[in-house]
Amino acid sequence: AQSVSQHNHHVILSEAASLELGCNYSYGGTVNLFWYVQYPGQHLQLLLKYFSGDPLVKGIKGFEAEFIKSKFSFNLRKPSVQWSDTAEYFCAVNSNQAGTALIFGKGTTLSVSS
Amino acid sequence: GAGVSQSPSNKVTEKGKDVELRCDPISGHTALYWYRQSLGQGLEFLIYFQGNSAPDKSGLPSDRFSAERTGGSVSTLTIQRTQQEDSAVYLCASSLVGGASEQFFGPGTRLTVL
């Protein structure tokens, strides 16, 4: 069965610390990969996505993610977090064929202290 | 431009009652998705509409759940004979086309079944 695993349920960091959130997926075939973020009181918005090409993807607000096909991973990174990065982060995957919905991980809550 | 809108934003109902949740996708988006976000469970796919094709209902948890999309635009998710375990945030998303397109999410409807 298709699934997405996010290894960290809750991450607590101080400002300026580096961030890496793990994401592994189980999905047959070619996939599209996404990271979504949900800030407190706001709705889900896209941070970055990978469809094909360069496996290192850069997104908004200084985030990046690397697709490692051999490891079925798509980890999210940021070199220096800010208090405003406090949010819940969701990794998601779908097939690159038309007509498939996203399968989400259970999310990682990031708390950044100033 | 306007994003995905959902109504109501909050709905409290009694066990056994029927509820209808509405989603207005972004104009021109042919694909529409419903997800459910439960505490500790992440986001769970419910149903997917693509143009005039038959919807993908594979994520609906029981036959008490149904959805329709009228005129290729507005969608209504109906839950009959609500149960307490139906309490969750119901999210709607739309995209230009299915599959590889970015999904844009609405603010959700928080359903509480007493």
CA dist list (Å): A76 to A25, A86, A89, B41, B76: 13, 14, 9, 20, 34
More confident residue, A90 or B52: A90
Inspect the interface and report whether the beta carbons of A99 and B100 lie closer than 8 Å.
no
What integer pLDDT is reported at residue B72 of this predicted model? 77
What integer pLDDT is reported at residue A71 of this predicted model? 94
User: Rounded to a whole number, what is the distance in Å from the CA of A5 to chain B's nearest CA?
Assistant: 11
What integer pLDDT is reported at residue B1 of this predicted model? 55
What integer pLDDT is reported at residue A53 of this predicted model? 92
Q: What are the structure tokens assigned to A84, written together?
A: 């405003």
Residues B91 and B111: their CA atoms lie apart, in Å, by: 11
| Residue-wise pLDDT tens digits, A95-109 | 766 557 889 999 999
**Does the pLDDT at position B100 exceed 70?**
no
Q: Tell me whether A100 touches chain B (CB under 8 Å).
A: yes
Tally A–B CB contacts below 8 A.
64
Inspect the interface and report whether the beta carbons of A99 and B48 lie closer than 8 Å.
yes
- Arithmetic mean of pLDDT, B45-54: 89
Inspect the interface and report whether the beta carbons of B53 and A90 lie closer than 8 Å.
no
* Summary mean pLDDT of chain A: 92
Q: Tell me whether A2 touches chain B (CB under 8 Å).
A: no
| Residue-wise pLDDT tens digits, B28-40 | 999 999 999 988 7
Report DSSP state, residue B52: T
